[in-house]
Amino acid sequence: MKKVVVVFDGHHFSQGAFDFVRQLNEKERILVTGLFLPVVDYAELLYSLGGLTGPAYYSDIAFEDMGVIQQNISHFKAQCKEYNIEYNLHPDLSRHVISEIKFQSRFADLMVLSSELFYENLGKDLQEDYLENVLHKAECPVVLVPEHYGFPSNVILAYDGSESSVHAIKQFAYLLPEFTNLKTLLVSAVKDSDIPDVKYIEEFAQCHFKDLTIKKLQIDPKVYFSSWLSDHGRSVLVTGAYGRSALSELLKRSFITQAIQDHKVPIFVAHK
């Protein structure tokens, strides 16, 4: 059994994220932890307010927040019972949002959240900052899920020869072996270069993925990768693009960010 944390914030109950964990549970029983976060990041708000007005203001809006969160919790519990999913709950307004996610991910195998709805109310720029922070700080792999998608029937492994990309492929195979029987395409989009260490990645990937094809993409990933991805139907993209190497992030951030923003497919992200 795996422990999967599914994250909901404020007014948003992500049906897409819940449906993903529901279908995981149909393949293999999991323990689903519902993490319910506030509408706004109260710890950050209090820090910015300072003085004596902060705690009183926090108390008022936190009380209002709990009504919304309780509605989402009731909906979560009802769906878990309907689909026979073992679950527990973690509603928490006390920690900074990113600190809470970091803490909860430490004790989880996998975290799932909506790429569309996660703090959507903060506006596009702040939402992107929050998502990027989640991917950097999470201590387990994260699946970013659109609200409308087909549950994956094929797998796309993004590989560039880096430690980060290989680590992500390993984590996906180890954590979600139910996907390793699907049609799998390992793609390399390293510009002006052959597939790095192709013999070694082929040896490893063939041990885990039963229907594997390896392909060198003849495109500029920063321009065309997202549109290429959208042509591959019900896929899950596996990437290590948000690893800790600053150079790695600089080179890869643009095309992975675009794939996230397009909200076409679930994206599995893991870093060391």
Span 231-240, pLDDT tens digits? 777 999 999 8
**What does the DSSP 8-state code read for residue 146?**
-
* Between 136 and 226, the higher pLDDT residue: 136
Show me where the domains of the chain are located: 2-145, 154-269
The yes-or-no verdict on residue 130 having pLDDT over 90 is no
Measured CA to CA, the distance from residue 150 to residue 135 in angstroms comes to 23
CATH architecture of 2-145: 3-Layer(aba) Sandwich (3.40)
Measured CA to CA, the distance from residue 106 to residue 50 in angstroms comes to 30
Return contacts of 216-222, CB within 8 angstroms, 24+ apart. 216/187, 216/188, 216/189, 217/187, 217/188, 217/189, 219/189, 220/189, 220/191, 221/189, 221/191, 221/255, 222/254, 222/255
C-alpha triplet 79, 82, 88: angle, nearest 5°: 55
- The whole-number pLDDT of residue 109 equals 98
Q: Which residues pair with 254 in a beta bridge?
A: none
Torsion of CA 43, 44, 48, 49, to 10 degrees: -30
C-alpha triplet 216, 221, 224: angle, nearest 5°: 105
Instruction: Please name the fold of domain 154-269.
Output: Rossmann fold (3.40.50)
The yes-or-no verdict on residue 187 having pLDDT over 80 is yes
- The whole-number pLDDT of residue 1 equals 92
DSSP three-state, residue 11: coil
Measured CA to CA, the distance from residue 256 to residue 262 in angstroms comes to 10
Measured CA to CA, the distance from residue 25 to residue 252 in angstroms comes to 32
Mean pLDDT for the chain overall: 83
- Dihedral sign, Cα of residue 270, residue 191, residue 152, residue 197: negative
Identical topology for domains 2-145 and 154-269 = yes
List the single range of 3-7, 8-12, 74-78, 194-198 with lowest mean pLDDT.
8-12
The yes-or-no verdict on residue 162 having pLDDT over 50 is yes
Q: Compute φ and ψ for 130, nearest 5 degrees.
A: -65, -45
State the pTM of this model. Answer: 0.86
Sheet of 30-37: strand order equals 86-91, 30-37, 2-9, 110-114, 142-145, 267-269, 235-239, 154-158, 183-188, 211-216
* Between 193 and 86, the higher pLDDT residue: 86
